[in-house]
Chains A and B, each alone.
Chain A
């Protein structure tokens, strides 16, 4: 199994550009979520999904959109990139209830100039 796959690994955007960060998992996990990691801030939840067609906001959702049309994929869209969105983004998945821990992708390092 590949686990959780994130693409791209690195990306540089100009302010105002839009882009989609891809996340795919092959473990048939119901739960998927997006976090951003900033220095000294730990990980903060952006959006999450408990199944196909169901999404909800986390702690820092502004400027981001998500959709979950399939169990496997959970893309994160930046609508109009801002320098404040420079961060490392992690996608994670788990079985329902998270009782076995989350599986994380390797991250996307995004720089907005």
Chain B
């Protein structure tokens, strides 16, 4: 079963605007990761936040994690047309071996 659920399912914005995507999950985690997938391509790792971290930045990306609410958000600032892609959150559980459980993704469309 899916662990993460992204919200919204689809997001359409103009270049220069900020894009915020949310992810909720169900069980205890070791870390939460965000990936980008361009149409017809493989997934690319964007950023990882550990369960003892609350916020993390990487370039134009800002990720927050609230373990009490079992939720995370990904903010892309000053969006560009090249940011058009699907974005997935994935959680790594805190027991046993390292596997990722993915949500269904948010499709982001950035128009020029």
Contact = CB atoms under 8 A, between A and B. Distances in A.
The interface size bin for chain B is: 20 to 34
Interface stretch (A12-20, A38-46, A65-73, A77-85): A38-46
Interface stretch (B14-22, B43-51, B59-67): B43-51
Contacts of A35: 102
B31 interface: yes
Interface of A: 4, 31, 33, 35, 40-45, 48, 50, 56, 58-59, 90, 92, 94, 96-107
Given A42-B102, A43-B88, A98-B92, A48 B97 contact: yes
Contacts of B35: 101, 104
Interface of B: 1-2, 30-31, 33, 35, 41-45, 48, 50, 88, 90, 92, 97-105
Contact of B42 (A33, A48, A105): A105
A59 B1 CA distance: 7
Given A42-B2, A104-B44, 14 more contacts: A42-B103, A42-B105, A43-B88, A45-B99, A59-B1, A90-B43, A97-B98, A98-B31, A98-B98, A99-B48, A99-B50, A102-B100, A103-B45, A106-B42
A103 B100 CA distance: 12
Contacts of A44: 102
A103 B22 CA distance: 23
